Structure 1
Amino acid sequence: MPNIGTVLKSEISRIARKEVRAETQQLKKTVAQYRGQIAQLRRELQSLQQQLRRQSRKGSPAPRAEAPEEDDDSPSLRFSAKGLAAQRKRLGLSAAAVAKILGVSALSVYKWESGKTRPRARQIEAIASLRRMGKREAMARLAA
């Protein structure tokens, strides 16, 4: 037959575990609510930061004044890595030959075509002129 002391001790520890479990469950619920609120606040903060960036871009007239002047020559210059590769193949040129025509390195053309980097605005203009070029004109520019 068990000792009354051990029975009492086990019963006290059982009741204590039960009470601790109830308290920790309430704390877990509270922590989950706080985490949800924190996530919501982070989303709000990110949204507000994006709005602030947009507003600051709209508020600074100097860059806006320069952009239309550059865009007057060619308002819709876009760049596509696949498009550059297709253009190069259409002209029957190697990456090094295209690089020579554009005045850049062959590695730059390779990186543009693979999508690792993006050309600068001045280089996009040169690529746009390459689009208007035919095979004969491209060969003539290479020879020159």
Structure 2
Amino acid sequence: MKTFADSLKKEIARVARKELKGELDALRKTCTAQRSDIASLKRELRALQGRLFRAERVTHKTAAVVMPPAPAPTAPAARSPVGSLGSFNHEAFAEFRKGLGITQSEMGRLVEASTLSVWKWETGKAQPRAGALLRIQSAMKLGKRAAIAKAQATI
């Protein structure tokens, strides 16, 4: 009886391998095609990034030659760190904080962010997210006394 059971197991394994072989071949073919597509997309991406880099470099050089330097703003309080389209100006943000005469830690409390976030925003190493931009805008609407009082309040 043992030989019959062994023979049956071997036959089942052989049939299973035969069935799986066709499916595995199709999967291998698909995988190879996808890898080829990924490689070509990577090459295309590198080429486009190179073209973009060269175009930005040419544009930057041309803009420096053609366009005169922008005049300095007359009133630092008139510059807003948050532009009309939601773009963030890190230099204006730093000027705003310095104009209030508060520390980065106090500015963090004012806009409900960490001191490290305020430092990164001011140095241009990071951009505030949408929620932080809204809090910065609302802080700018406060008067100087109210902003200082809110910033120096302990949490």
Q: TM-score, normalised by structure 1?
A: 0.46
- Per chain length, whose mean CA-contact separation is higher, i.e. which structure has more relative contact order (CA < 8 Å, sep 6+)? 1
Q: TM-score, normalised by structure 2?
A: 0.43
Larger Rg: 1
